[in-house]
Amino acid sequence: MTTTFVDLDVRPVLRAGGEPFQEIMQTVAALAPGQGLRLFATFKPVPLFGVLGSKGFSYEARELENGDWEVLFRPTEAASTAESASTAPRADNSEWPDPVRHLDNRELDPPEPMVRILAATEAMKEGEVLSALLCREPVFLLPELAKRGHAWRGGFEDEGTYKILVRIGAAKKAVA
């Protein structure tokens, strides 16, 4: 099967000191089945390999003559499996109680938001809900929450704020 690629050049954003992660993830989310992403960056984006790998993409990276990088992310056969695994903790459509704890992590640099959220979940009782605000989608946090048996719901709100609700221990019950 031939993969068609959507090109995304984040070099101008990076050179201006910006963070293109949200733009990359929005582009990936908009890909049609069978499409891949051709990413141009000023460095080899190693952390992105794991993030997109967990979403079902393989990668091929090559350094360009000027020191920039071109990375091809191709969907793998495991893409549908990875997507269903990443959404499994969110599958609980029952009524959630109001959050008992609220965190505003928008001003913190990674990995501090993840560390604070995981620490807060450790101090909470099963069934309680934590609400947290973040400045980006917490892609590294989501698999960790699932691993610990917590369910989550989240999405972008006004002006790029990501809000996540974490229900303590709810994923354990859904599996049992």
* 95 and 165 part of one domain: yes
* 108 and 67 part of one domain: no
* 92 and 73 part of one domain: no
* 58 and 104 part of one domain: no
Q: What CA–CA distances, in Å, run from 21 to 10, 171, 173? A: 9, 28, 33
* 102 and 149 part of one domain: yes
The encoded tokens of residue 119 equal: 């620490």
Residue 11 domain-assigned (yes or no): yes
Question: Can you give the residue range of the structural domain that contains 47?
Answer: 4-77
CATH of the domain at 97: 3.30.110.40
Residue 82 domain-assigned (yes or no): no
Band (pLDDT 50/70/90 cuts) for residue 144 is confident
Q: Among 91-95, 112-116, 141-145, which is the least confidently predicted range?
A: 91-95
* Overall domain count for the chain: 2
Band (pLDDT 50/70/90 cuts) for residue 76 is confident
